Chains A and B, each alone.
Chain A
Amino acid sequence: MSSSNKFKKEDFVIKKKDVSQFLKGLSDYTIYAPHNEDDTILFKAIVNPDEITLQFTNSVKPPKHIVLPQTETMLKITRDKEKGYKIDEPELKEKNILFGIRPCDAKGIAILDKVFSEDYEDPYYTKRRKNTILIGFACIDPHRNCFCTSVGGSPDSTDGLDMLWTDIGDRYYVSVLTKKGMELIKKSDTFSKVTSKNTKVKDQVHKTANDKISEKFNADALPKKLGNMFEDKYWDNMSMKCLGCGSCTYLCPTCYCFDINDIEYRDKAKRVRTWDSCQFSSYTIHTSGHNPRPNKENRMRNRIYHKYKYHYDNYNVLGCVGCGRCITYCPVDMNIKATIKELTKR
């Protein structure tokens, strides 16, 4: 879905104090930005720029829910006097800006783009995605669980983004990456030309952040390695402590599995699409009652295989962006980094 092919990238700077003026000028859009409530950082629709927190490493939930909501109404069915019934589909005209998304999460959305538009175009996702502008913020203080540089990303990766902003002290360095991004810049007079000093500072900031992610390993070999590890004892042992909850998948920026259900209410109904998780036993259960992945070791293996093999086989890119959320929020401290390291050793 990249429209950046013919676009010539351009760079600007904006003073930090002008940012809220820039955002206020974008009233046609719903702006989703990081917001801190009770020490929980989440992306939410912002009414006033003051609500935005930019002092954060990353949000608890990745902002993938802006383009792939956890619960999405696909259609509504109501009674109609003439026809008997009436079906309404959502219009999805809303224009969104995702302000402050981290490069890893933007890369996650770039990965979702392939899933939802390559083989089969998903109208809900693509409509939303087309109307969404991604303004990324380069990561300056990576978390200790981050490992983006090991899976083909970086704290200043531009995959999926329309703009990348970098904090260079009293202003932001704005790299405009697509036409969509340029149109926003043109709406405001708060942006000015960059100086060579600005560029230097920006490059330094990027380098410092990259260096902070000290732990590096090579995940490239995994798709091949996993090829003959399906029946390995390793899965039994590594998954013993897994609880089989879905927090790793629901907090993953690249997990996209969904389920579709019809929900009735009196004489109305709606068809909803909701996230689903391969870690639930109901995910694979057949109508016959047979479950091909009956135990958590089977399901955990599937998660690792999907991220590091199946996704690579299908789309030529790993299904992991190295955000480290599944480590940070796992109730039993499952460590996917240790898993990768262990697997690459074999």
Chain B
Amino acid sequence: MSKFEPNIIAFLCNWCSYAGADLAGTGRLKYPPNVKTIRVMCSGRVDPMFVLKALKEGADGVLVSGCHPGDCHYVNGNMYARRRFAVLKKLLEYIGIEPDRFQVSWVSASEGAKFAQVIDEVTESVRALGPQKKLTKVGFDE
């Protein structure tokens, strides 16, 4: 059987993590191609519904990445995000979803190497979990 390739949705903030990804690209750093990026203006823009919806649509894992605390382009959008996702993470674990299905990271515009490493880690941990079925819509396969 071929190796399971996870499908990961990453919500990256425009100013830090997206730029970090860009830097990783221009620096020709290698990281797994399993991540599908959605650029948002700020990690504070990411509603928990985005995460749940991605999982419902069959994502094997979701990553939200923003600026380090204190670096937010909008002063403190990431601080709100941190609170929100702390609660969401606890809830997901509580109902029996593997913690690694939903991950959060801070990656700044200068951290191309960290970005590549985060994607590497996220991909490997989600790959280890196998396909995400619990929160995915059903009834489409024969």
Contact = CB atoms under 8 A, between A and B. Distances in A.
Interface of A: 73, 76, 88, 263, 265-266, 268-270
B94 interface: no
A267 to B, nearest CB: 9
A86 to B, nearest CB: 11
A272 to B, nearest CB: 8
Interface in B101-142: 137, 139-140, 142
B58 interface: yes
A263 B137 CA distance: 10
B57 interface: yes
Contacts of A88: 142
A88, A266, A269, most chain B CB atoms within 10 A: A266
Interface string B50-86: 0000000110000000000000000000000000000
Contacts of B139: 73, 270
Contact of B58 (A73, A263, A266, A270): A266
Contacts of A76: 140
A73 B138 CA distance: 11
A263 B140 CA distance: 10
Contacts, number: 15
B36 to A, nearest CB: 12
A310 B57 CA distance: 41
15 contacts: A73-B139, A76-B140, A88-B142, A263-B137, A265-B57, A265-B58, A265-B137, A265-B140, A266-B57, A266-B58, A266-B140, A268-B140, A269-B140, A270-B139, A270-B140
Nearest to A76: B140
User: Across chains A and B, which 6 residue pairs bring their CB atoms closest together, nearest first?
Assistant: A268-B140, A265-B140, A265-B137, A73-B139, A270-B139, A270-B140
Nearest to B56: A265
A12 to B, nearest CB: 41
B85 to A, nearest CB: 26
A76 B139 CA distance: 9
Contacts of B57: 265-266
A96 to B, nearest CB: 20
Of listed B57, B137, B139, B140, residue having the most chain A CB within 10 A: B140
Nearest to A77: B140
A73 B137 CA distance: 13
Nearest to B136: A265
Nearest to A269: B140
Contacts of B58: 265-266
Contacts of A265: 57-58, 137, 140
A94 to B, nearest CB: 16
A88 B142 CA distance: 10
A93 to B, nearest CB: 16
Nearest to B138: A265
Interface string B18-61: 00000000000000000000000000000000000000011000
Nearest to A265: B140
A268 B136 CA distance: 14
A74 to B, nearest CB: 12
A265 B54 CA distance: 11
A92 to B, nearest CB: 15
Contacts of B140: 76, 265-266, 268-270
A265 to B, nearest CB: 5
A268 to B, nearest CB: 4
Contacts of A73: 139
Contacts of B142: 88
Contacts of A266: 57-58, 140
A273 to B, nearest CB: 13
Contacts of B137: 263, 265
A76 B142 CA distance: 9
Nearest to A267: B140
